[in-house]
Each structure stands twice: as structure tokens, then as C-alpha cells.
Chain A
Amino acid sequence: MITFALDTATPTPVLALCGDDGPIAELWLGQTPGGGRRVLEAAHHLFGSAGVAVTDVDEIVVGVGPGGFTGIRIGMATAMGLGQALGIPVHGASSLEALAVGGVLVREGDELVAAVIDARRREVFAAVYREGPDGALTEVIAPAAWAPADFAAAATAAGPAVLVGDGAALVPATEGLRVAAGDAPHRISALALVHRVRTAGPLPVQPAYLRLPDAEENRLKRIAEGAGA
């Protein structure tokens, strides 16, 4: 059984091939704007270097976000297109949970893991998880778009936590919150996506935007104002 996993929700897209016995190959793309647009080209290289043909793939796991809207869509369209053509299942996995899987590896003591993705517009997409005794992640703070200071306050109230993800540096320095050292914990691993699906089960393949389109936001605001007047 060969699983192809990809996540293009963040500025450092990632893909991997995974067999029954563990990882076959993993590839990160450098941080370039719109890097997700190169994901199929990267997949072709990944398949080539791993000696795997795309037709050998048995299932696909795709990060459904949150993250950049366009990135999420390219990853999902790619996954669903491949799945449709190959007639194989496509599973969703949370990009934040995949980050948290990496965060568990670098946490100290009883620290919670706060997964934080840059949401632009001075916001972060973030959630806080606790690792249970069986290694399962439980949600302490559900994924949402936050002002970084508000998230810092909420996370601190939940308990000491290690911050991982490209949005970790945006969270104001707060006692009890520690940004993980190094680069690796701040990138999503495609293998972590596969781990989530195999341990916690798949999510539906639906984009986790966590934010309405601006036009819809404004429309709802106008309706609310009209109703209040």
C-alpha cells in the first residue's frame, strides 16, 4: 500500500510517499510565493526519485488547511484530480494537526502544543492540542483565526505550551509560551498528515478556510447592521 501525501496550505509546500513499513521519500519546496503551484512538478520528481509510478499509488492524503486559500485549493484540486483519474480514495487531514504532530516531538514536560499558521492580515490560524497517554491529540483550543495577542492570552490560560508553525513568531512573547527552536518543527511534514489519518482517521476532503470571503463577511455585516437599525 503506497500513500501519496501533500500539503500546500503554507508557504513551504510538502509532499511524501509512504509505504506500509514507513516513509519512502519526502520533499519540501523552498519558501517561495505561490510555491504550491509547483506541487505537481515536485510530485513528478518525488515519484521519479523514489522509483514509484503515479499509478502505483493506492491512496492520497491531502492537507485541507487552514492556510493560504489558493494553496489549499491547488493541493486539494491536485489530490482530487489524481484520485479521480486513478480511482483511489482521497483523505483529508488538518494542516494544524499535522503541525502539532511535529510539535509533540519537541515539547518539554507537560507542555501543550500550539500549532500556529500565518493567516496574513495580522491574524493567525491556530489551535492548541494536548498529547494523551496513548499518543492521541486532543483539542484544547479549536482551530480558528485569531489576533495573535488574543491567541497568546487564550493559550496561556490553557497552560504552558510550545509554539510550532510559520505563525509561531507572530504570537507576542508571553510567559508560558515557548517558540520551538530550529526550523523543522515549524514546517508541516507530509508524513505527519499520513500519521494523523492512520491514527485518528481521515477528515472529509473539505477545505478548512476558517475565514469567509471578504465579500460575504461584508454582506453579513450589512445585514446585521440593517437588522439592528
Chain B
Amino acid sequence: MSDPVLAIETSCDETAAAVVDGRRILSNVVASQAELHSVYGGVVPEVAARHHLTTVNAVVDQALADAGLTLADISRIAVTRRPGLIGALLVGVATAKSLAYATGKDLVMVDHLHGHIAATWLEPVALDPPFVALTASGGHTRLDLVENYAAPVLLGQTLDDAAGEAIDKGARLLGIPYPGGPGLEALAREGDAGAFDFPVGLKGRGPSADFSYAGVKTALLYAVRELGEEGTTARRADLAASYQEAIVRPLADKLMRAADTHGVPAVSIGGGVAANGRLRELVTEGAADRGLQLAIPDRALCTDNAAMIAAAAAFTPIIAWPDFVGEDAIATAPPGGIAA
């Protein structure tokens, strides 16, 4: 039976809408603002919110058109409620509530992190629990044990910067324009990852599944200062490779260790950092060594998108019409990580 869900995601700098039917993606539209924010060297919340407002209705129309459906064919509407930039979230929430209210449909309010984890539920990956999920992006870095998609259990998370944030900051120190991920990775490919011994956060803390990236960022800053302009230019590739290694290696190591600890047969990676080739190499090796199934959704499902919000909506309580009219966006993540 057909049960298409329209989902909207506006928590950061992507205006996204998707139509998902069960585990099947019918459409997945993302209007990226990355270029808009690049002149500021990072996401500017007010600029993001303004752009969401002028874009969101057209993105919804496009998602419906791509799916070959109209709003009348949609079973219910899902939207990212939290966490994120509040001004950005509010545009998506107001839009989704209004669409649902006017069409008499029910609403599902989804946690963005739940979305990143549930992306693997969608075809063609269609991973079934149990597994350990690594989510690493510009806003979040965490490990969850997924015994069922409805209630991922947080195993560890970053204590300071997110992995993607650390990558962007390091890229800026090396003169790579925002967003720095792809540029840093390309540069790192020409360098020696062992050239600089950057500290890996929380290395000495035993089996902690948490992450820390403040130290490595500072270490890169000192290295750049010590080398001076000329020295830095000469060794940019080595710096990039060593820095990238210090960020992605703990992600892969702790993912594998968590898989060992919990005895799961599979691991997954998601979030924008999952696009990083070096991280993919490391987790591919680690999973092969252990005979684990490795699930990596398409790049379009790793970076922020609305299909993943529709996926999480399948495991989030439905708010019946019109009980959602008073529901609101929330900037922060709940303690423990995920909530409807």
C-alpha cells in the first residue's frame, strides 16, 4: 500500500524537501545555500533563515513534482523540529504546520540527528538493526547503538567541536575556502599523514566513545605559526594529510571499538563527513578486518536532506490534525541526544 510522506528540512543551510514511500525515496530535493555563505566563511544564521523563506515553497513543489504526486496524494507531513539554527528551523516548521493544517493531514516532528541515523533505513542501503551508527558533520559528531530505529542509544559524542567544524577550521588555517572539506581532502591526498604528530583527542581516556577536536585544531595553529608563511606553503599537503588523519582516524577507531563492544554485525556512517574519502577508507578496512557489514548511504543522503527526515518520521510518534498547531521548533538537542 502506498503511504507517501512529504518531509521538510531547514535546520541549517540546506532548504530540503523529499517524498518517501515506505523505504523508497520518490524524490529528494536540496537547495544548497553553501555558495551564499562562502563569502562569510561559515553559515550565517540570519542569511540562512532569509533564504529558507524565499525557497521552501518552491522546493516543496519540486519534491512533489519529482515524485509525480500532488499534496492530495501525501499521507502525512514530516519536518525537522530540532536541533539547529532556530530562525532556520522556524521557517520549515511554520511551513510544514501550515501545509498539514490546510490539507487536514497529520504531522510528524523529527529530530535532525534521528534523521541522519535513519538514512540507512532507506533503500537501496536498507540496513536492519542491530548496528552502530557514526554521525559526523559540521554540527554533530556522535556514535549510537541502534537496536531499533525508534530509539537509538547514544554511546558517545564530541565534547567540543564537531568533526566537520574542525575540518573547516583547519582548512581555513591552510587557506582553503569555505566549505573546506573537499579542498582539504584533495590537498591531503598529496601529503604524508604521518608527517606531523597531531594529538588525537581523548586518546588516553581508555574506552571512552567520546570525541574531542579542540586540541588538534590548536596544534595545527601552532604548527602553522612555527613554520611561518613560507614553511607552511611548502608543507601544506603534509599538514592537511596529518590534520585530516587526526580527525578521521578516531572516528573510524571508535566506531570499530563500539562495534566490538556491542557485538553488532554492522556499522554505518552518515553526516557530511561521511563523504570524506580517507574516513571511508579507514572504516572499509576496519569493517573488512572484522567481517562487519558496512553501510554508507549515498552522499546526497549523508549531507543534510529531507529524505532522512521522512525515514526518521517512520519511527516518530504522529501528531494528529489539528493537535500540532501549537508545536514549535527547538534550537537545542535534548539531553541524551534524540527526541521527537
Contact = CB atoms under 8 A, between A and B. Distances in A.
B306 interface: no
Contacts of B44: 213, 215-216
Contact of B98 (A81, A207, A209): A81
B49 A69 contact: yes
Interface in A169-211: 206-207, 209
Interface in B305-340: 322, 325-326, 328-329
B101 A54 contact: yes
B43 to A, nearest CB: 10
SS class, residues of chain B in contact with chain A: helix
Interface stretch (A18-26, A36-44, A114-122): A36-44
Contact of B95 (A43, A80, A213): A80
Interface stretch (B53-61, B144-152, B249-257): B53-61
Contact of B90 (A37, A80, A81, A82): A37
Nearest to B324: A40
Contact of A84 (B39, B53, B57, B326): B57
A209 B328 CA distance: 23
A69 B46 contact: yes
29 contacts: A37-B90, A38-B326, A41-B326, A43-B101, A43-B325, A55-B102, A69-B46, A69-B87, A70-B90, A73-B50, A74-B94, A76-B53, A78-B97, A78-B98, A80-B57, A80-B98, A81-B94, A81-B96, A81-B97, A81-B98, A81-B102, A84-B99, A85-B71, A85-B103, A86-B102, A207-B50, A215-B44, A215-B46, A219-B39
B328 A37 contact: yes
A81 B47 contact: no
Contacts of A78: 94-95, 97-98
Contacts of A84: 57, 60-61, 71, 98-99
Interface residues of A, number: 31
Contacts of B50: 69, 73, 207, 209, 213
A214 interface: yes
Given A84-B60, A213-B44, A44 B102 contact: no
B91 interface: yes
B102 A215 contact: no
A225 B103 CA distance: 52
